A and B are shown apart, each in its own frame.
Chain A
Amino acid sequence: MKLGFIVNPIAGMGGKVGLKGTDGKEILEKARQLGAYPESPKKAKKALEILIPFMDEIELITCPGTMGEEEAIELGFTPKVIGEKKATVGPNDTEEAAAEMLDMGIDLLLFAGGDGTARNIYNVVGDKLPVIGIPAGVKIHSAVYANHPRNAGEVALKYLKGELETIREAEVMDIDEEAYRKGQITAKLYGYMNVPYQRQLVQSLKAGRPEQEESAQEAIADRIVSEMEEDVFYIIGSGTSIRPIMDKLELPNTLLGIDIVKNKELVASDVGEKQILDIIRGQKAKIIVTIIGGQGYIFGRGNQQLSGNVIRMVGKDNIRIVATKDKVVSLMGQPILVDTGDDEINKMFNGYARVLISYNEEIMYKVKGF
C-alpha cells in the first residue's frame, strides 16, 4: 500500500496570533514575528502515529523536511522522500508534491493543513484519488478534513487495511483571506474530493438496517422531486446532498453553483444573485439548501448567491433544508449556521428548523443566525 503524506507546516500559524489564515508570504512573516510557531507538524504526527502498528505494510511517500519527512522519521517510519528541501514552503510545493504522488500511483493521500492546503491538493488531485485531511489550519470549512487529527489517522488506517470501502464526496471550500481579515466573509465552494468515510455499520436491533449515505441522499431527492409544485421556481443550491435532485430530474447540474428549475425543467444555470432576483421577482419560489462544508453552514458559505435579498424575496417558509442524518449528527449538537451578511435575515433563522433526512424523515434542529 502506498500512502502519500503531505504536511503544510505553516498551516495554523495565524490562528493563535489572530491572523485568520497564513495564505501569502507577508502574512506568514507577520505571524512569525508575532510569535507563532508551527502547529501543523504536531497535529500531523498525531494522525500518523495511529499508523505505527501497520508501518511495515505501508510504503510511505512524503516531502522533505517539515513537509512530512521529519514527522515520519520521528515516529520511526522510513519514508521515501520526493522533491528537494527548500528554505521556505509555499502552495506550489504542496501542488508539486501532490502531482508527483499522483503519478506514483499512491493509494491514499493523507495531508495536514487548512482550507488553502485542501484547495492546493484539489487543484491537482481532483477526484482522481482518495484523500483525507488532518485538520491543522485556522480555517477549516472544507469537509475533506476529519474532525480530529487522530480520526484522520484512523480513517487512513482502516482504508488501507481494506476495512473502509465507502467513499464520499466532500466539499473543498475556502474563504478569501484578504476579505476575511477585513471582516467580510466570502467563502467559495471550489469542488469536491473523494474521502474514505467511516460510519457505524452496526445494525441496531430496534431501528432496522442502517441506511447508506447515498441511499439517504437518493431518498431525499425522491422526496423533494415528489413534492415539487407546478409553476414554482426552485432555486437549487449546491452540495452533495442536493446533487441527486438534479440527477432525478435528469437536468444538468452546476456542481459549484446555483441552478433554477421550474416545472422540472431547467430555467437557468449557475446563476448569480442578481439573476436569481430577476427571475423570481413577483413569482413563487422555493430554495433547496443543504449543510455545506464541515462547520454546519446552510447560507453564507459556498453559496453567496443566495443572499439576504434572495432569501427575503423567497420567504423563510419556502426554504427546504436537506441533509443526511450522518451529516446532521456529525455537527455534534452544534447549531446549523446562517451568515448571509444581512443581520435581519440571519436573525430570522434563529430557532428551530426541519431538516429533511430521508424520504419520510425529518429532524427538528437548532439554527443560529449571526
Chain B
Amino acid sequence: MAKLKIRENYHQARWDEPIIYELSTPGERGILVPQPDKEIKDSSEDVLSNLPEHMRRKEKPNLPEISQKHVLAHYLHLSQETLGSNLNNDISQGTCTMKYNPRINETLATLIHHVHPSQDEDTMQGILGIYYKFKHFLKEISGMDKFTLQPGGGSHAVYTAASIMRAYHESRGELDQRDEIITTIFSHPCDAATPATAGFKVITLFSDDETGVPDIEALKEAVSERTAGIFITNPEDTGIYNREIDEIVRIVHEAGGLCFYDQANANGMLGIARAREAGFDMCHFNVHKTFGTPHGCSGPGTGALGVRDHLASFLPIPTVEYDGNKYYLDYDRPESIGKVRGFFGVAPVVLKAYCWVMMLGAEGLREVAEISVLNNNYLQKKVEEIPGVKTWYAEGRRRLEQVRYNWIGLEEETGVGTDDVMRRIGDYGIQHYWTSHHPWVVPEPFTLEPCETYSKTDLDEYAAVLARIADEARKDPEFVKASPHKCASNVVANPEEFNDPDKWAVTWRAYLRKHGKK
C-alpha cells in the first residue's frame, strides 16, 4: 500500500516572475521569420505601398523583444507556477471531473496538427472516421440517436440544446407561446444561462429543504402551455440522484415541452443509467470531463450533444456521416440551427476521447463509474469524520460521484470558513477546492469529486489534510485565514481594485497608465 503522507514541506515554485514586458531588450529576437525567396523579394515592388496610407500600420506594435531562451524560460517558470491536474491530488475541483489525462493521447493528437478542415473528404477519412465512431460510442452510452461534436465546451453544448429547443418549437409554430424553460437551483448555471441567451424566460425550481431535490409539486405548479422544456442536471452538484427523474420528464412532456439532460455529472453513470431510459429528448457530455481529455486551463474542450431522432434535423451543420463506404460532411440540412463553432469541432479533443474509450471498452467504462462512486462514498466517510464538516440534505441517502459538504460547524466554532480552508489546502500541494456555484444555497460549501483517477491513498491524504486544517483552525485561526503561505503567489492585497474602473487593468499598458508606472 502506498504510504500516506501529508506534504508538510511542500512549497510551490515561486519565481517572482517579471511581466513579459519587463524582460524586453530592444533588438533581441525570439524567432526569425522565414523570408521570401530572393526572386520574390526582387520581383515584388514595395507591397506595403499598395496599401492606402490610412490602412498601413504607422508604428511597430509594442511587443516585447526577447531571445528565445528567455521566452522559453519565462513560460517554463509560469508553467511551474500552475498546479495542473496531472500534478496534484485534484479531487478538489468538484463538478469538474479532474481525471488523469493520458500522455499517449497527447502524442497521438499531434498526428492531426497539419490537417486543414476544408481538405477533400477523401484525405480526411481517418479523422472523420474517428468522429463517427466516437459518436457511436456516445450513442451507446446515452441511448440517444444522433450526436454533434461541434460545440467547444459543456456550456456551449447546452446552449446548442437551447437553440435546438427553440428551433423545434419554431418549426411547430409554437415558439411565441412556449417561451419558458424550467431548471433547478442545483442544476448547472448554464442550464439557466444558455436558455436565457437563446431568448427564453427561465423558471428555477428551488430545492426542498429536506430532500435536496425539487418537490414534484413545484414542477407541476411550474409547467403550463408556456413550457418549452426543462434543463436539468442529475445527479445535481449535491451528488443526490433524483429518483423522480422519469416522472419529471413525463410531466414536462405532457405539458408539451422537451427535456434536456445535463450530463456534466455523468461519470458515475457510465453503463449504469442512461438518458434514454429516463425518457429525455437530448443530453450532453463534457468530453473534457467525463472522457479524460485535458482541461487546458479552461479549454479547448468539447461538448457532445445527443438528441433523439425527432430532433436530429436541427443539429448544427455539418454532421459527420457514413454512407457505407466513405465518411462525409453533410451540409445539406435545411432545418439545422446553423453553426455554433467554425468547421466541425475541436478535433484533437475528440481524438483523445476516442483513445480514452478505446483503452477501456464497455467493461472499463463501467469500472470507471463504479470506482468513481466507490471513491466518493469512501471519501465522504473520511471527510464526515472531521469535526466541523457536515453534508446538507437527504441524510442517510448515498451520493453518487460527488458530495456538497459544508464547514458551517467549523465556521461557527472558529470563524474559519470554507474560503479560508480552501486557500490553506494549497499549502499542502493540492489545488483549491470548488465551493459552489453562486448563489451559495448551502452556506460554507465545498464540493469534492474523487473520480476514478484517485487512489485510496490519495483519498486518505485528502481527508487527512482537511482534518489537519480543521485542527489548525481551532489552534490558530488567524494563520489559516492568512493562507496560503506556500503557493506560487500570495493573495491579492486589494481585490476591490478589480471592481474599480480607475484601477482595474486587464492589460499591461492599462496597468502602467492607471497606476502611474513606466
Contacts and interface: CB of A to CB of B under 8 A. Distances in A.
Indicate yes or no for A touching B, C-beta below 8 A: yes
Interface of A: 50, 53, 150, 162-163, 165, 200-202, 204-208, 210, 325-326, 328-329, 332-334, 351-354, 360-366
Contacts, number: 92
B202 A362 contact: yes
A165 B208 CA distance: 34
A333 B203 contact: no
B201 interface: yes
Contacts of A206: 154-155, 188-190, 193, 437
Most chain A CB within 10 A, of B192, B439, B478, B499, is at: B439
A51 B208 CA distance: 36
8 contacts: A204-B189, A204-B438, A208-B189, A333-B209, A362-B202, A363-B206, A364-B206, A365-B206
A352 B438 contact: no
A329 B443 CA distance: 10
Contacts of A162: 496
A361 B204 contact: yes
Contacts of A201: 499
B222 interface: yes
Interface in B465-518: 478, 495-496, 499
Contact of A333 (B207, B218, B219, B496): B207
A207 B197 CA distance: 11
A363 B203 contact: yes
Per CB-CB distance, the 3 closest pairs between chain A and chain B, nearest first, are: A207-B189, A333-B209, A352-B221
B contact residues, range: 35 or more
B218 A366 contact: yes
Nearest to A366: B206
B409 interface: no
B201 A208 contact: no
Interface of B: 154-155, 182, 185, 188-190, 192-193, 196, 200-209, 214-215, 217-219, 221-222, 298, 412, 415, 437-441, 443, 478, 495-496, 499
Most chain A CB within 10 A, of B206, B215, B218, B440, is at: B206
Nearest to A208: B193
A328 B206 CA distance: 10
A50 B203 contact: no
Contacts of B209: 333-334
A174 to B, nearest CB: 28
B221 A351 contact: yes
B415 A207 contact: no
A254 B455 CA distance: 64
A165 B500 CA distance: 11
B441 A329 contact: yes
Contacts of B185: 363
B421 to A, nearest CB: 16
Contacts of A205: 298
A352 B218 contact: yes
B437 A351 contact: no
Contacts of B438: 200, 202, 204, 207, 210
A165 B503 CA distance: 15
Given A163-B496, A364-B218, A207 B437 contact: yes
A369 B208 CA distance: 17
Contacts of A365: 206
Nearest to A357: B204
A333 B206 contact: yes
A96 B425 CA distance: 49
Given A53-B478, A150-B415, A204-B189, A364 B221 contact: yes
Given A207-B189, A207-B190, A325-B439, A364 B496 contact: no
